[in-house]
Structure 1
Amino acid sequence: MNAVGNGLYATISALYFTSVLGHPLSLVSAVLFAAMLAAMAADLAGGRLADTKGPRQVFQAGLIVSLAGMTAMLAAGEVVVFVLAGLLAGVGQGLCMSSNVALIRRAAGADAVMARATLRTFLTAGLALGGLAGAGVLAVGARWAYLFAIAVNLVTFLWCALLTGGLDVPGSPASGGRRPAGLFHVYRDRRFMTFAVVSAFISVHNHVLPFAVPLWLAVTHPRLTWLAGIALVVNTVLGVVLQIYANGRVNSGRGAVLSFLAGGVTIGASYLVFAWLARAPLALAVVLVLGFVVVYSLGEILLSAGAMDLQFRVVPGESQGQYSAAFGTLHGLASAAAPAVLGLVVSSGGSLGWLALAAATGLLASTVLVVGRKFEFQPVG
């Protein structure tokens, strides 16, 4: 339910900030950047608190702070209120991020990996449904429609907080009652951090479909830009249908490493299509784009299955929140840099840029074989 609200909000937020509230784009960009920094800081603090105080309490606190942010966003015509609403939304998001992973591990025990895969499937479907509802709001275009959409998102945060209160969560991590180490001890775990950095670099792929594909089609085949929307739909459907199955095939730490490797190499291979696309005739270009999204989606599913498993299997249960926060922070930085990297590939790199990105992704994915040999895999439960 919360994913539906978030998908709705993500679709309408930019136009709500600028067209309805009347804030200049420069202010909106600054507030969103500040919110991202606030989310990263709250994620680090929330990870520590999730390990020491309990993930359910931190997760609920994040939902309540997000609810406050959405409430303020309903009356964010004044600059001060808009800034406050944006920061509250960022802090709430950050508190939910790492505590969410720790909560899944604590509540689901030995089934944590499959529970997270199942949640990812439902979240993907929820975001898609929210996006469709957001498209309806944009079509109406009236102020009341935007306000109603934000109110719906607000209610989903409240409902999710109430549902979280009913979860049966053990009082101590499954791996024992040892007290978590200091706040920054995770960053001294070189094996995990190497894996996290590699995963973060590869995660640039998350912006390929929504950002790079429409830009590249506009450059090479302007008449086919509509295919970008079709590609997003195909990717969503394949993710919903296959993610749980892919995670179910990963039964060991070694299997998770191989799934991560296969996913990264497959994503890298999918980029080769773009080098071919530049000189392809129109009919072949349609086939290439559709072929790309299938190959890319399969790679994304395999990569996610391996990464989700490893985030539990190589992390001590009593420090899950802090490890997840470190992992999420690196991915947040990569996400912030991704549009610039992909924009450079599209605008300046051309076909050679896609070839270079394909090679870099494949090489990065292969390093997990070396890192994986040094991991001490442990049961999730």
Structure 2
Amino acid sequence: MRRGGDGGEGQGLLAQLRNPPGGRNARIMLLALAVDRTGSGLWAASSVLYLTFVTQLSAQQIGVLLGTAGVAGIAGSPLAGRLAGRFPVRPLLIGCHLLRLVTLALVLVCSDFGALLPVIAVTYVGDRAAKTLEMLFATRTAGERRAAYQALSRSAANAGYGVGAGIAAIGLAVGTTGAYRALILGNALSFVVAAVLVWRTDEARERTLEVARSGAPAGDGREAPVGDGREVLAGDGREAPVRRTGPWRDRGYLRFALLDIPMNLDDSILAVGLPLWLVERTSAPHALVPAFLVINTVLVVVLQLSVSKRAEGPRRATRAVLLYGVLTFVCCGCLAAAALVGTWAAAALLLAAALLVTLAELMRSVSSWELAVLLAPEDSRAAYLGVAGMSQSIQKSAGPPLLTGAVMAAGPVGWLVLGTAVAGLSAVQQRSCARRLGIDEPRTEPALQAG
């Protein structure tokens, strides 16, 4: 394996940011994404304290408020996908930014729980819709290099989020009502700037459907496009016409979206499982908690571009799903063992778990998007991607209570059960996707080569 310590990866990242897949449109969208996520970092770091000290809500009210908003946000992805199938993506994305601008302005003038509940719920709907529209815009702009664009977008998003969190730290250190309001205004301002940047792009054209309609081989000729109205039969490899009336009646795609929910659990494991498990069930020093986020951020920035190149295309994307399950299983094993050993052994196991869950996240970040696009019929891609976008939203709502209420309550055995379940479901997902895409097991091409 090549070592990344010589700066090659960093130079590659900078070069790609200057000339990303998709050219000018992609460059502007990456900047808009970084600005948007800077605002998200401000909100994430300050929202709970703002609601506590400025609006005077109780902890229970804040929990209900954010929990309800998270559930409401699930509707944002399919709604955006449905609208994007009928209207251009660019004005829809601008509309999402402006919608969140209005709702954030209302947050500043509302102090009653009953008034804040629908306002923040709509904010979360707009947030999830914007993420789906960004994905769809990138898919149309970057084309076959969407995995490389996804890597760049994650780097831009992480950078923006980190900047936002850093700015928020200054405001929180001041701790006055004015400082809290300034942070919320900063988030609102990010939506204005992002909307202006999106307005400067040209609407990405839909890819033509002549290839799909003619039945000609796609790309390198190894497989037929999913969107051409044919589906490979499991028994003898023959193809039969399939009538699709949309993602909600496409059982194969719904199965992919459903199985993709546990394929996003790395997010909750890193943000909730690791720190709470360290504090409650191990003797490791609490000072390790910030290290988990540092490990995650650094590795994502350094490795994301490299990993994306090794997960492009249907064969490698399906293999990445399987590797996700293996990495998550080993991560859960480390967490289970950390509760059974001494202080420094527990610390080492928890740091290993942070490393493994980050590697799993890298696998998921490219495979989920790549497969969501590949499995969708090209002429209905917007609606299909809207359904696929629900997986992450559902996980964000269901993942934390699953970990705290079931997995961690069961002790080390709970982590082993979770790891086994995710590994098993990843194998099911891999096989299901490979069958739908008509991919036979490759005999000569190793997946995710070490380079």
Q: Structure 1 length as normaliser, TM-score?
A: 0.91
Q: Which residue of 2 aligns with 1:72?
A: 106
Of the three residues 53, 57, 64, the one matched with 1:19 is 53
Specify the code of the residue in structure 2 equivalent to 1:265.
V
Q: Measure, in 1, the Cα distance between the counterparts of 2:411 and 2:370.
A: 35
Q: Deviation of residue 113 (structure 1)?
A: 2.5
The residue number in structure 2 matching 1:260 is 321
Structure 1 residues 373 and 42, CA, compared in 2 at 3 Å: closer, same or farther? closer
| Amino acid in the other structure paired with 1:324 | L
Deviation at 1:313, TM superposition (A): 1.8
Mean CA deviation greater in 47-56 or 108-117: 108-117
CA distance in 2, matches of 1:171, 1:299: 33
Which structure is higher in helix share?
1
- Map Cα deviations across residues 104-153 of structure 1 (whole Å, 9 max, x no partner): 11222232222122111210222122223223322221111111111111
2:5 corresponds to: none
Say if 1:110 and 1:346 are closer, same or farther in 2 by CA, change over 3 A.
Answer: closer
5+ residue gaps in structure 1? none
Cα gap change, 1:318 to 1:121, in 2 (>3 Å): farther
Q: Tell me which amino acid in the other structure corresponds to 2:190.
A: T
* Counterpart position of 2:185: 151
Q: In the aligned structure 1, how far is the partner of 2:96 from the partner of 2:50?
A: 23
Aligned to 1:7: 41
Higher mean Cα deviation, 149-158 or 167-176?
167-176
SS at match of 2:280: helix
State the alpha-carbon separation in 2 of the partners of residues 33 and 175 from structure 1: 41
> Structure 1 residues 244, 343: CA separation in 2 closer, same or farther (over 3 Å shift)?
same
Question: Is the 1:58–1:95 Cα contact (8 Å) retained in structure 2?
Answer: no
Is the Cα contact below 8 Å between 1:98 and 1:324 reproduced in 2? yes
Matched, 1:199 2:233: no
Offset at 1:60?
A: 1.0
Q: Does 1:315 align with 2:395?
A: no
1:104 corresponds to which residue? 138
The 8 Å contact of residues 44 and 326 in structure 1, kept in 2 or not, is answered as: yes
Report Cα offsets for 1:219-268 as digits up to 9, x if no partner: 23355222121111111110111111111112320111011211221122
Q: Which amino acid aligns with 1:113?
A: A
1:15 CA displacement? 1.1
Contact 2:339 2:412 (C-alpha < 8 Å) held by counterparts: yes
Q: Distance in 2 between matches of 1:282 and 1:26?
A: 34
Distance in 1 (CA, whole Å) between partners of 2:196 and 2:360 is: 36
Aligned to 2:224: none
* Match status 1:122 vs 2:183: no
Distance in 2 of aligned mates of 1:188 and 1:262: 29
> Contact between 1:314 and 1:375, CA under 8 Å: does it hold in 2?
yes
Identity of aligned residues (%): 25
SS at match of 1:52: coil
Residues 343, 377 of structure 1: alpha-carbon distance in 2 compared, 3 angstrom cutoff: same
Report how far residue 338 of structure 1 moved. Answer: 1.2
State which drifts further: 322-331 or 207-216.
322-331
Give the Å deviation of 1:74.
1.8
Between structure 1 and structure 2, the one with the greater Rg is: 2
Matched residue, 2:233:
none
Match of 1:356 in 2: 417
CA offset digits 1:149-208 (Å, max 9, x no partner): 1111111100000100111223434446999x9997202222222222122023222111
What letter matches 2:62 in structure 1? V
User: What amino acid does structure 2 have at the position aligned with 1:213?
Assistant: L
CA contact (8 A) 1:62 1:94 kept: no
- TM-fit CA distance, 1:345: 4.3
Q: Does 1:249 align with 2:283?
A: no
Show the counterpart of 1:292.
353
Residues 1:266 and 1:100: Cα distance change in structure 2 (over 3 Å): same
Residues 38 and 291 of structure 1: is their aligned pair in 2 closer, same or farther, counting only changes over 3 Å? closer
Match of 2:121 in 1: 87
Indicate the residue corresponding to 1:282 in structure 2. 343
What amino acid maps onto 1:371 in structure 2? S
User: Structure 1 stretch 51-60 or stretch 186-195: which is displaced more?
Assistant: 186-195
SS in 2 for 1:375: helix
1:126-141 to structure 2, matched below 5 A, reads: 126-141=160-175
In structure 2, what is the Cα distance between the partners aligned to 1:37 and 1:354? 25
Q: TM-score, normalised by structure 2?
A: 0.78
Secondary structure of 2:261's aligned partner: helix
What is the identity, as a one-letter code, of the residue corresponding to 2:361?
E
Amino acid at match of 1:160: A
Please name the residue that 2:77 is paired with: 43
Alignment partner of 1:302 out of 358, 363, 367:
363
SS in 2 for 1:254: helix
Q: Distance in 1 between matches of 2:344 and 2:131?
A: 43
Contact 1:212 1:346 in 2 (8 A): no
1:7, 1:150 → 2: CA distance? 11
Alpha-carbon spacing, 1:369–1:39, altered in 2? closer, same or farther (3 Å): closer
Alpha carbons of structure 1 residues 88 and 75: separation in structure 2 relative to 1, 3 Å: same
**Matched AA of 1:72:** L
